[in-house]
Amino acid sequence: MEQDVESTVTVRQPKLPKKTWDDVPKPLKNRERVKQKIQRYVRKDGKCNVHHGNVRETYRYLTDIFTTLVDLKWGFNLFIFVLVYTVTWLFFGFMWWLIAYIRGDLEHIGDNQWTPCVNNLNGFVTAFLFSIETETTIGYGHRVITDKCPEGIVLLLVQSVLGSIVNAFMVGCMFVKISEPKKRAETLVFSTNAVISMRDGRLCLMFRVGDLRNSHIVEASIRAKLIKSKQTKEGEFIPLNQTDMNVGYDTGDDRLFLVSPLIICHEINEHSPFWEISKEHLAHEELEIVVILEGMVEATGMTCQARSSYVASEIKWGYRFTPVLMLEDGFYEVDYNSFHDIYETNTPSCSARELAEMTARSRLPLTWSVSSRLSAQGLRSSEDEELLERNGDLANMESESKV
């Protein structure tokens, strides 16, 4: 029998040259950029995504030790609070024990003929307890200083003064830490997305803010900044350049009466940084809008600030916000379930500049026709006046010839 021999054929594919990033088509580049993680300047919860490194002049933090302690986290703050009191109690307890040791009070324990500096102080533990009683002004009455110890009287005065300073500093630090208005900003909410749509015939960028509490924010004001890197005409590169966005500071609309959710509007005109940005252009932009809401807490009078941001992917072109305020029987009700909801609306996809140019072009023929009609009417009226004058002159000549 003849055996069939199976032959395997290997096909070698030619090596293709490696493609560079410039060889990739633009749509693929855009997809790769979208897949990349967006680096925010300010996170959605309002915290700034900036870390300070290589700070050599660390002594500046100690010059403002109060603010440094307040800015610490709660764990470190409580640790320092307990540590400061414990160290002061131990230090002055050691000083009371040292005075008793130098005077020889510890060698005459139980001797009724000996007058110690502090009665019933027979060791370091009792000295530590006496230090706590002195600084906290407890005074149980069992251990008491005598009048035969001038150095003990001086130490008592020093501990009382320094104890009062430590109490004022640490209790004040804890009070400020507890009453910080940062937590008040947790109930100030911003919409998840910003939208761009038509309002009163103009393209506008809008976002919504609201307050979940019944106690209001007094003197509330809103600001918005565009964070975008730019290059000047001279070639200088400015990373994360900040540009103000007008949200009504020239008309007073930036001062809010924040009783119910409000839609903040930025009109895209020739002074706006979005003047030449279209829908297609916005999808490829690397920008971020930081919004800042400031005001005073009604209960405490302290200034509160809430922040949020919107990147290009969170700005929806051609959408509006769903209404959340409804009229009930005798009151208005806010439906916060629809606070972040948006719906699509007819919006031109061109930039505000192109929209203004098209609007101006559409108005030109109308003005020309009106002006031409007015000029034609003017010519006709002048011709009619000349004919009337001529007819009047002929009538006068005929009457004179008859006479």
Cα dihedral value 378, 382, 387, 389, nearest 10: 140
Distance CA 63, CA 400 (A): 113
Residue among 249, 250, 242, 239 nearest 273 (CA):
242
Which tokens sit at 369? Answer: 């026709």
Q: How many residues does the chain have?
A: 403
Domain boundaries, the chain: 58-179, 184-355
**Alpha-carbon Rg of the chain, whole angstroms?**
41
Which pLDDT score, from 0 to 100, does residue 214 have? 86
Q: At residue 273, what are phi and psi to the nearest 5 degrees?
A: -70, -10
Q: At residue 210, what are phi and psi to the nearest 5 degrees?
A: -155, 160
Q: Cβ contacts of residue 214 below 8 Å, gap of 6+?
A: none
| pTM for the whole structure | 0.68
Distance CA 291, CA 43 (A): 11
Which pLDDT score, from 0 to 100, does residue 12 have? 42
Q: Which helix (H) or strand (E) holds 375?
A: helix 352-402
Helix (H/G/I), strand (E/B), else coil: 318 = coil
Domain 58-179 top-level CATH class: mainly alpha
Distance CA 134, CA 137 (A): 5
Asked if residue 355 lies in contact with residue 277, where contact means CB atoms within 8 angstroms, the answer is no
Scored b (16 or more CB within 10 A) or e, 33-62 reads eeeeeeebbbeeebeeeeeeeeeeeeeeee
Q: Which helix (H) or strand (E) holds 220?
A: strand 217-231
Distance CA 170, CA 164 (A): 10
Distance CA 8, CA 203 (A): 68
Fold agreement (58-179, 184-355): no
Which pLDDT score, from 0 to 100, does residue 374 have? 38
Q: At residue 55, what are phi and psi to the nearest 5 degrees?
A: -85, 105
- Low-confidence stretches of the chain (pLDDT beneath 50): 1-35, 366-385, 387-403
Q: What is residue 20's DSSP assignment?
A: P
Which tokens sit at 368? Answer: 């020309």
Distance CA 142, CA 94 (A): 19
Domain 184-355 top-level CATH class: mainly beta
